[in-house]
């Protein structure tokens, strides 16, 4: 059987994604009922972090343990990875000692090179370009609250970053629309987002117009990890791209608000929105756990039934 990686959202088909969402709901229900489920006993996940994380580390480590396996954490600061060992060599060695690997790193090219030299599945835990596990969790959360996402409208307000790119890929695979509003100079780069076409997203100069009638409004930090040198300039450029109560009022009355977290209240989102009635950010964070368990099960064992 050929190895299946999850390096970009569109590595999985609509059919596979729907299977994973269904499976995640079943795994979540088992977990909530305290039913032990150990399909990955004796399997080892290696997690490689070149950037900080709370949710990604916790959800992968806890998730693997809850499936009966174990997880090992490596970071660039105290392993040979930070001392210039070629990615290809690291992939050869790490994938001979483990069953599945998750990587959070800088350029997408790094994870692609790792995967090309890996004997086991590789999962993208965030790169400069994409954050596919996040959007798995976000769409699972949408499905739980509102049903299928097909045909719905997602408003993305702010930076056209890794999370935005992944929403755009997801819209193509799952057939929904994304209304994007970024400040001038921060527009979507379709090639970087690796899109097939542009029929599933539309750009708006005015963030209020992007949010109008949306089923889901979402945003992310103005300065992503790795771009800290641009922080001051970004604070100025993004000042009018805050998701606030006025913006939520022009969206559908039952619109959801999501944020991958960590959030900066008073910057990309106002406190009354993230802590208000539209917000599902805690469900969204929790669903990282459940959907990634379904993902790991699928990459290692294929379809269960
Ligand atoms: N959303 C997310 O990936 O969070 P962490 O950076 O804490 O992993
Ligand atoms: N866009 C953010 C997401 C953090 C989870 C970053 O890359 O820093």
Query: Residue by residue, what is the 3-state secondary structure of 79-122?
Result: CHHHHCCCHHHHHHHHHHCCCEEEEECCCHHHHHHHHHCCCCCE
- Nearest CA, atom 3, ligand 1: 56
161 ligand 2 Cβ < 6 A: yes
Q: What does the alpha-carbon distance between residue 188 and residue 127 come to, in Å, rounded to a whole number? A: 16
- Is there a contact between 238 and 260 (Cβ–Cβ < 8 Å)? no
- Nearest CA, atom 2, ligand 2: 224
- Nearest CA, atom 1, ligand 2: 224
135 ligand 2 Cβ < 6 A: no
- Is there a contact between 210 and 179 (Cβ–Cβ < 8 Å)? yes
The residues that are catalytic are 104, 131, 134, 220, 260, 288
- How much is the pLDDT for 50? 95
Helix (H, G, I), strand (E, B) or coil at 154: strand
Tell me the backbone φ, ψ of residue 181, rounded to 5 degrees.
-130, 120
Q: What does the alpha-carbon distance between residue 162 and residue 105 come to, in Å, rounded to a whole number? A: 12
Tell me how crowded residue 224 is: count the other CB atoms within 10 A of its CB: 18
- How much is the pLDDT for 78? 79
Distance (Å) from CA 224 to ligand 2 centroid: 5
- Is there a contact between 20 and 291 (Cβ–Cβ < 8 Å)? yes
User: Which atom of ligand 1 is found nearest the CA of 59?
Assistant: 8
- How much is the pLDDT for 305? 73
Q: What token pair was written down for 100?
A: 């599945």
Q: What would the CATH number be for the domain defined by 9-131+287-300? A: 3.40.50.1370
- How much is the pLDDT for 198? 66
User: Which atom of ligand 2 is found nearest the CA of 220?
Assistant: 1
58 ligand 1 Cβ < 6 A: no
CATH class of 134-284: alpha beta
Rg (C-alpha) for the chain, rounded Å, is: 19
User: What residue spans define the domains of the chain?
Assistant: 9-131+287-300, 134-284
User: Which atom of ligand 1 is found nearest the CA of 261?
Assistant: 1
- Nearest CA, atom 7, ligand 1: 54
Name 180's bridge partners: 156, 203
Q: What token pair was written down for 64?
A: 């693997």
Distance (Å) from CA 53 to ligand 1 centroid: 5
104 ligand 1 Cβ < 6 A: no
- Asked if domains 9-131+287-300 and 134-284 share a fold, the reply is yes
**What is the pLDDT tens value at each position of the chain, 305 positions in all?**
689 999 999 999 999 999 999 999 999 999 999 999 999 999 999 999 999 999 999 999 999 999 999 999 999 887 888 888 999 999 999 999 999 999 999 999 999 999 999 999 999 999 999 999 999 999 999 999 999 999 999 999 999 999 999 999 999 999 999 999 999 999 999 999 999 876 899 999 999 999 999 999 999 999 999 999 999 999 999 999 999 999 999 999 999 999 999 999 999 999 999 999 999 999 999 999 999 999 999 999 999 97
């Amino acid at each position: 059987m050929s190895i299946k990686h999850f390096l970009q959202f569109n590595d999985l088909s609509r059919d596979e994604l729907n299977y994973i969402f269904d499976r995640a709901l079943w795994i979540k229900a088992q977990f909530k009922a305290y039913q032990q489920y150990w399909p990955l006993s004796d399997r080892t996940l290696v997690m490689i972090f070149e950037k900080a994380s709370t949710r990604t580390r916790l959800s992968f480590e806890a998730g693997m343990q809850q499936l009966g396996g174990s997880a090992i954490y490596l970071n660039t600061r105290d392993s040979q990875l930070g001392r210039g060992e070629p990615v290809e060599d690291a992939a050869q060695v790490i994938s001979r000692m483990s069953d599945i690997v998750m990587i959070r790193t800088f350029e997408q090219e790094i994870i692609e090179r790792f995967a090309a030299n890996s004997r086991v599945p590789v999962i993208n835990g965030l790169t400069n370009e994409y954050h596919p596990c996040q959007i798995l969790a976000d769409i699972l959360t949408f499905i739980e609250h509102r049903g299928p996402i097909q045909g719905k409208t997602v408003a993305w307000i702010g930076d056209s970053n890794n999370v935005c790119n992944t929403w755009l890929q997801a819209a193509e695979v799952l057939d929904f629309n994304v209304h994007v509003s970024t400040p001038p100079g921060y527009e979507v780069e379709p090639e970087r987002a690796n899109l097939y076409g542009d029929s599933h997203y539309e750009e708006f100069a005015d963030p209020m117009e992007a949010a109008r009638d949306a089923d889901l409004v979402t945003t992310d930090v103005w300065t992503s990890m790795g771009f800290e040198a641009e922080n001051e300039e970004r604070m100025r450029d993004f000042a009018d791209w805050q998701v606030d109560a006025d913006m939520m009022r022009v969206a559908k009355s039952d619109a959801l608000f999501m944020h991958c977290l960590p959030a900066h209240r008073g910057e990309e989102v106002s406190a009354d929105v993230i802590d208000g009635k539209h917000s599902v950010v805690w469900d969204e964070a929790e669903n990282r756990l459940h959907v990634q368990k379904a993902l790991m099960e699928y990459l290692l064992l294929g379809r269960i039934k």
